[in-house]
Amino acid sequence: MTIDLHQLALHSIDSAADELGMADWVRATLHQPERSLAVQVPYRADDGAIRVVPGYRVAHSMARGPAKGGTRFHMDVTATEVAGLATLMSVKTAVVDLPLGGGKGGITVDPKQLSETELESLTRSYTRAIAGSIGPDLDIPAPDVNTGQRHMDWMADEFARVTGRPQPGVVTGKSTAAGGSLGRDTATAAGCRTVVIASARRMELPADARVVIQGFGNAGAPLAAMLAADGFRVVGVSDSRGAIHDPRGLDIGAVAATKAAHGSVIHHDAELIAPEDLLALDCEILVPAALEGAIDAAEAERVRARLIAEAANGPVTDRADAILHDRQITVVPDVLASAGGVIVSCFEWQQNQREERWSARYVADRLEQRMRHSLDDLWAVAAARDLDLRTAAMVLGVGRIAAAIEERHGLDVARELAS
């Protein structure tokens, strides 16, 4: 279903602001992006025609550092969606205590209808359109829905052409040959794995707890493989074409091979179930790793898991979240559970800025440490204030952003109010 992510993000900020007793001027600052850009993106089609689609880039907050956030290519991209995602990125970077703010970008286009040549033309055109608003010290794009290494390589190369010098730190998620970090391709999955394992132990779930993963894509597929290797039983997975189930535990390597060969998990030798029934499977752990709004109120009533780890952005609607809370289902929110990607993006940016190359083991160890510490911080805030984890995450992240805003502007505002 479609949800207004921007309004959802602002509602969450207001709830955190109420809990923190935040000053009105700081709350108002958090309600508005620092910079919002809407552009027209012309590109050359294979038939020689020039076509034009809308694009966006929003920097919500740079109080704690340069804005950071992905760039998605999708037909549903809108200005309000991008603003909402940028707002949530500000909170996400603050929750995991990175020296970054929050941003997001996107183009309203169906990339599956474009050739490789058209995609490159589109990506380079978008980069030229937003070049004045991005940079290693200003706003740092990254991959998101329907974008990946090749798009980031094109963006970095085009930005170098526009500015006249190579600046690999302008984007993250690049190929390693172009300055990308080792471990970036599985970072979201690896970060979510740490959250799942630590939370499962805290909740005393079985060592072979049953896991259901909605979305067998860039995050869900490697996460399924990691959790299966850890001894968990992945009993259900889905993709855009359908869902499968095996109560004994799926052979994730075989499922991945089937998807690679035939384009979907539904061709694997397992029970085929309706996608909406996946969420109601009997399990201990549910991981929504698809698009936002995947779990609404009706589906929340059917969830049987004890723990939900949100590997996707905004997968649970506001009403569904309240239902899950009433049913005492623990939800580790997306601002932490899906933060592995932005953490390793930060590592990539730091390597580029320092002209360093870190080993895969060093990256993995730093990611796990950061996720564990952040989860501990989150549980501590929840316990101290008697809050659910989502509200605690917003309080933690918003509180850190507000402190930076007050430090940057507070004295000037105080003088103006006193004059």
Active-site residue list: 104
Give dist(CA 379, CA 330) in Å, integer.
Answer: 11
> In sequence order, which residues have a C-beta less than 8 Å from that of residue 28 and are 6 or more positions away?
none
- Beta sheet of 50-61, edge-to-edge order: 35-44, 50-61, 102-108, 67-74, 139-143
Please report the DSSP string for 84-123 in residue order.
HHHHHHHHHHHHTT-S--EEEEEEES-GGGS-HHHHHHHH
C-alpha count within 13 angstroms, C-beta hemisphere, residue 5: 26
Give dist(CA 134, CA 244) in Å, integer.
Answer: 42
Beta carbons within 10 angstroms of residue 356's beta carbon: 9
Radius of gyration of the chain (CA): 21
Give dist(CA 335, CA 94) in Å, integer.
Answer: 9
Q: Which of 252, 245, 243 is nearest to 270 (CA)?
A: 245
State the DSSP code for 316: B
Give dist(CA 279, CA 286) in Å, integer.
Answer: 8
Instruction: Output phi, psi for 43, to 5 deg.
Output: -145, 155
Give dist(CA 219, CA 221) in Å, integer.
Answer: 6
Tokens of residue 91, six digits: 């909170």
